[in-house]
Chains A and B, each alone.
Chain A
């Protein structure tokens, strides 16, 4: 199993550009998540999904969009990139069998995004 994969690893965007961060998992997990981690800070949840076709906002959703058309994929879309979106983005997944955050989350390696 590859686990959780993310692409790209690094990206530099200009202000106002758009991009999609890709995330895929091959563990048949129900739950998937997007977090951002700013330098020296903890993780903040952007969006999450409890299954295909279902998404919901986390703590910091503004400026982002997601979709979950399949169990495996959970892309994160940035529209009109801003310097405040410079961060490291982590995708994660979990079984979610008991609901909520009771199951172990498995993380991808991250995408380091810089907006100039």
Chain B
């Protein structure tokens, strides 16, 4: 069935390193794609989203582009900070009543 595959973690990076977290989906296409972030001890919150193919979502220095040709929505940040340490979830937005998230990728940034 339709699903999202997310890069497994944990990922440990030094401050100012480049970050990529891969996310691919198997459906023919979703109306929208999301990245959520979960900081320690908190609920998930929206990081960014894209609402159509080739759309780029961005927030807090993070970016992700909805690539229909490669069925991907990879999350990138050019220079991570210690405060970016969190768990990141990729999620599809579908008009059917299917609500699911990727397995999550834990990121730890060390000074």
Give me the interface of A with B, judged by CB distance under 8 Å. Answer: 4, 33, 41-43, 45, 48, 50, 56, 58-59, 90, 92, 98-110
Shortest beta-carbon distance, B51 to chain A, in Å?
A: 8
Task: Known A-B contacts: A42-B89, A56-B97, A102-B93. Give 6 more (CB < 8 A).
Answer: A100-B94, A100-B96, A101-B93, A102-B94, A102-B95, A107-B44
Q: Which of B41-87 contact A (CB under 8 A)?
A: 42-46, 49
Tell me the smallest distance from the CB of B37 to a CB of chain A, in Å.
Answer: 11
Number of B interface residues at 8 Å Cβ cutoff, please give it: 25
Docked complex: B27-41 residues within 8 A CB-CB of A: 31-32, 34, 36
Residues of A within 8 A of B103 (CB): 41-42
Chain A residues with CB under 8 Å of B99's CB are 33, 45, 48, 58, 100-101, 105
CB distance from B85 to the nearest CB of A (A): 16
Consensus secondary structure, chain A interface? loop
Minimal Cβ-Cβ distance residue in B for A102 = B93
The secondary structure that dominates the B interface is: loop
Do B31 and A98 touch across chains, with their CB atoms under 8 A apart?
Answer: yes
Contact B43 A50, beta carbon cutoff 8 Å: no
The 6 closest A-B pairs by CB, nearest first: A107-B43, A100-B95, A102-B93, A42-B103, A107-B44, A101-B99
Q: B residues touching A (Cβ–Cβ < 8 Å)?
A: 31-32, 34, 36, 42-46, 49, 89, 91-104
A101 touches B49 (CB 8 A): no
- Chain A residues near B42 (CB-CB < 8 A): 109-110
Q: A75 to chain B: closest CB distance in Å?
A: 17
Report yes or no: A42 in contact with B96, Cβ–Cβ below 8 A: no
CB-CB under 8 A for A45 and B44, given A99-B95, A100-B93, A103-B93: no
Point out the residues of chain B lying under 8 angstroms from A105, CB to CB: 36, 44, 46, 99
